[in-house]
Structure 1
Amino acid sequence: MHEFDTRSAFSVSEEERVQQYERLWDEPGFAKWLSNFYDVMMPGPANEHYAEFFRNKIRERVKDPVVAEMLTPKDHMFGSKRLPCESGYYEVYNRDNVLLVDVKNAPIQRITENGIQTADAHYDLDVIIYATGYDAVTGSLSRMHIQGAGGRTLKDKFAEGPRTFMGISSVDFPNLFTINAASVGNFVRAAEPLVDWITECVAYVRDNGYQRIQPTQQSENEWTQHMIEGGQNILRTQADSWFVGANIPGKARFLLTAPDTAPVMRAKRAEIASNGYKGFSLE
C-alpha cells in the first residue's frame, strides 16, 4: 500500500527533494504516483516540478529528442491520468523497427486496404490493433438490464453519474452488491477486501432474519455529495480521461473512483459493519 508523504515538496531542500524523486523512480508500481509529497498530487508548482523531473527521465531514455517530446505529455498535469507502470517501455522507441506517429498533429483519415492513411502519409501495415479504450467502471452495468424495485433500470439511474453508498449498492436495488463498479478506490486493491465485506454483510442479513438490504436515501445522498466535493480537489478530475468518463461521447462527467485511499475506504466499511450496517435499511 502507498501513502502520501505529508510534507510539501518545497518544505525540504532541492537536494532532498530530488533524492526523494529518484528513490520513488526506482520503486515499482504506483510509488512515484501515490507515495510522493502530498502537493505533487495537487495542481500547482509542486506538480509541475515533479512533472519536469519525469519529462527529463523520458528524455534520458529516448535517444531521438523529437520522439522523446512526442512521448512527453503536455496537455494534462502529472497524475491526472494513470502513469505507465512500465519496464522498458520508453526504450522500445529506440528500436529501428518502431515508428511513433503523432496522430494529434497528423490525424488518421481512413483505414485503407493495406494500412492507415494519416493527414501526412500512408503507413503499410500487416495488422492493426485497436486500443480505443472502453466504457470504464459503469459500462458493464449499463450494458446489463438491471431493473430495480420501482421499475427503473440501473442504467437510467446512473445516467448523470453513479449514485451509490460507498460504491457498494444503490437505493431501490435491494440485495444488489456491486464490486469495483463505481465510487470505490483502486480496483485491484479494493476487490478482495470488498468481496470479504459483502460476504460478511450477507451473513449478517441472513443470520438476523432479514430479507432485504439497501442504502438509505440519506446515506446515498451523502456519499454522492462526498464524491462530487472530493473530486473538486484531486488531479483525476482535471483531465479528460476514463476517470471521469470523458472518453465516452455523451457520458456524464463524474468522478468514477473514490477520492479516498484504500486504507481509508476499508476503515469506513469496517465502521459501517461494526455499527450494524449503519447507513443501510434492513427489512
Structure 2
Amino acid sequence: MTSVQELQDRPASAAALDHDAIVIGAGLSGMYQLIRLRELGLRARVFEAGSGVGGTWYWNRYPGARFDSESWSYGYSFSKELLQDWSWSEHFAPQPETLRYCNYVADKFDLRRDIQFHSRVASAHWQEGDRAWRVTLEDGSHHTCRYLITGIGVLSTPTLPRFEGIDTFGGQSFHTARWPHEKVDFAGKRVAVIGTGATGVQTIQEVAKTAGHLTVFQRTPNWCAPLHNRPITEEEQQRIKASYDEIFRHCRETFSCFVHTPDPRGTFEVSKEEREAFYEQLYASPGFGIWVGNFKDMLTDRAANREISDFVANKIRQRVKDPTVAEMLIPRNHGFGTRRVPLETRYYEVYNQPNVLLVDSKATPIQRITPTGVQTSDAHYEFDIIVYATGFDALTGAFDRIDIRGEGGLTLREKWAGGAQTLVGMLVEDFPNLFMVLGPHTALGNIPRSIEYNVEWITALLRHMQTRGLTRAEARAEGVTAWTEHVKGVGAGLLTNEVDSWMTGVNSNVEGKQTRVIARYSGSAPEYRAWCDAVAAGGYRELDLA
C-alpha cells in the first residue's frame, strides 16, 4: 500500500502542470530558448513585461542607441536561412533596425503564439512535492511549470540616482532604458543629461545636434574610443553572407567572441615606435579592437595600461578645444579598458559646441531635482527635459526584483547575499530546475554568442533528462564551490577587478551594492565553454539529477 508520505513526495505529472517550461523575458535569450524548447517537444510559455519582443532593443529606444559589436557578428547564427534572409544596413546597426530584426525573427519562427506580453513576473516559488515552480505575475495570476528559465538580461534593470525631488520636476524626464515610444523633440529645448557611461555618450552626441542648450552632468568620466561606423555596401553584404560560417567560427575562437581578440605580444616586447603605430591603427579602426584587440597585457600590467591610457588621453586633448574641458573628460580613477569602453561618433567634439556645458558633479554634487531643474552645490540650472543615463543594477539586479524562492523557502537574494554563487553561471544550489541564460559568472563579451551557447547547453541538459526520465536538476555544493573558485582564479590580477563598475557589481544607487565582488566570468569564452562542455561530457556529475 502506498503511504501518504510517498504520495506527497511524488512529483506532479506533466499533464497536471500548466506548462513544461516557463521562460522569463522575450529578448534574444528568451526567443532562442523558446525555439529550442519547442524542438524538445516541451510545452513552453514566455512571460514578457513589455508589449513586444526584443528585450534590450525593446526598452532602450533612446537617441543614438546602437550596436558596438559588428552587426554581422551579433545576430543569431543558428539558422542559415535567417542569415541569408536578413541584411544589416550598417556595420553597427541602430536600435530601430535591431528591433525590426527581433520582430522579424519572432514572425519567421512564429514565436508570439507562445509569448504572453504585458506580463511581469513577481515571484517564482519552488514546490518540492510537485517538483515544479509556481510563478506569479504582477496581475496576480499563477502558473506552474517543471522548468523555469530566466532570460532577463545582464543590463536590464535601470537605476535612478537617489536624488531628492526627482518626482517634482515639471518638465519631461526619462531614464534611457525606459524611453517613450513616441518621438521626443529636443529642438530649442534646455536639456540635461545626467551620466556619461555608454548610454550617456550615445545620447549626448545625438541630443547635442538639436538641443537649444545641453548641460552634461558628469560624475565619472569614461575612456571612449571612436566607433567608425558606416553603411554596408552591396559588395560587402555579399561577402559577409558568403562568410558567415567563417565569421562565427572565428568568434568562437576569440577571447570574448568578438571579431577582435588580444594581440599575442606584450606591450613592451615591441619598440616605442611600433607601439605608437599599433595604437594609431587601433584608434582608426572600427569597433572594440582598441579595447579587446590590444596588447595581451594591457589589462594586467600597470605600465602597459598607463601607456595606452596616456595615448587615449592625448587624443581627447587633441579633439577638445578647451584644455580645461579636455582635462575634465580624462578619467583619473581608472585606466583605459578597466571599465566598459563606450564607442562614440564625434562625442568629444560635442564639447566644442557653444550650446554645450560640462558640469563636474563630483566637484559640485547634485543636491536635488527641483520643479524647474537641477540644484547643485553651487548653482541652479533650469531645464525643459532631464535625461537620466544612470545605468543599471547589473548582473544580479534583474534577479533581485523577482521573489525567487528555492528549497525550504530560501530566497535567491539571501543565497547571493555575499555575492553570486553558481555552477557555470546557469544553475544554483538549492534552486532545482532553475536555469539562467546569462546568469552571473557566465562569459559575456559578444552577448548573442554567449546567449546561443547558454541556451544550447541548457537544452542539451534537458534532453539528457528527457531521455532518462529525470525531472529534477540541481547544482551540487562541490560543483558550485569548484566553479566559484575557478571564476575567482581567472579574475586574479586583472586591473578591471580593482575598479568600481557594474562589472564588479558596484552601483552607488543600489542599497548594499557598494562593495566589489567577482560578479562576472573574466576568463576567455573558449575556456568557459571547455569547462561547461566537460560537465556535460562527464554525465553532469556536478548536478544532482533525479
* Aligned-residue offset at 1:12: 0.4
Output the aligned Cα RMSD: 1.7
- SS of 1:10's partner is helix
Alpha-carbon distance in 2 for matches of 1:226, 1:88 = 41
Matching residue of 2:31: none
Is the contact made by 1:115 and 1:124 (CA closer than 8 Å) also made in structure 2?
yes
Q: Which moved more, 1:206-215 or 1:166-175?
A: 206-215
Please list the CA deviations of residues 129-181 of structure 1 after superposition, one character each: whole Å capped at 9, or x if unmatched: 12233211101111111111232111110111001011010111111111112
Identity over aligned residues, as a percent? Answer: 45
Q: Which amino acid aligns with 2:373?
A: G
Alpha-carbon distance in 1 for matches of 2:489, 2:531 = 17
- Correspondent of 1:209 among 465, 469, 474: 469
Alpha-carbon distance in 2 for matches of 1:86, 1:280 = 44
Equivalences for residues 55-204 of structure 1 within 5 A: 55-186=313-444, 188=447, 189-204=449-464
- Normalized per residue, the structure richer in strand is 2
- SS of 1:38's partner is coil
Change (3 A) 1:239 1:110: same
- SS of 2:408's partner is coil
Alpha-carbon distance in 2 for matches of 1:137, 1:180 = 8
Alpha-carbon distance in 2 for matches of 1:86, 1:276 = 46
Alpha-carbon distance in 1 for matches of 2:297, 2:276 = 15
Stretches of structure 1 lacking an aligned partner (at least 5 in a row):
none
* Aligned-residue offset at 1:274: 2.4
- Correspondent of 2:294 among 30, 36, 48: 36
Equivalences for residues 11-30 of structure 1 within 5 A: 11-30=269-288
Q: Which has the larger radius of gyration?
A: 2
Matching residue of 2:542: 279
Is the contact made by 1:21 and 1:32 (CA closer than 8 Å) also made in structure 2?
yes
Alpha-carbon distance in 2 for matches of 1:278, 1:23 = 48
Is the contact made by 1:185 and 1:262 (CA closer than 8 Å) also made in structure 2?
yes
Select the structure with the greater relative contact order (CA < 8 A; seq sep ≥ 6).
2
2:489 matches 1:229 = yes
Q: Which moved more, 1:5-14 or 1:189-198?
A: 189-198
Please list the CA deviations of residues 230-252 of structure 1 after superposition, one character each: whole Å capped at 9, or x if unmatched: 33311221111111222133235
Equivalences, count = 283
Alpha-carbon distance in 2 for matches of 1:143, 1:204 = 31
What is the TM-score normalised by the length of structure 1? 0.94
Please list the CA deviations of residues 52-106 of structure 1 after superposition, one character each: whole Å capped at 9, or x if unmatched: 0011111122222111111110011222211112222222222222111111111
Change (3 A) 1:268 1:98: same
Alpha-carbon distance in 2 for matches of 1:34, 1:81 = 12
Q: Which moved more, 1:163-172 or 1:273-282?
A: 273-282
Q: Which amino acid aligns with 2:486?
A: H
Q: Which amino acid aligns with 1:80?
A: T
Is the contact made by 1:28 and 1:85 (CA closer than 8 Å) also made in structure 2?
no
Matching residue of 1:238: 498
Alpha-carbon distance in 2 for matches of 1:33, 1:152 = 40
- Correspondent of 1:270 among 507, 529, 533: 533
Alpha-carbon distance in 2 for matches of 1:197, 1:135 = 26
Q: Which amino acid aligns with 1:36?
A: N
Q: Which amino acid aligns with 1:184?
A: T
Stretches of structure 2 lacking an aligned partner (at least 5 in a row):
1-257
Alpha-carbon distance in 2 for matches of 1:27, 1:205 = 47
What is the TM-score normalised by the length of structure 2? 0.50
Q: Which amino acid aligns with 2:461?
A: C
Change (3 A) 1:14 1:197: same
Is the contact made by 1:164 and 1:170 (CA closer than 8 Å) also made in structure 2?
yes
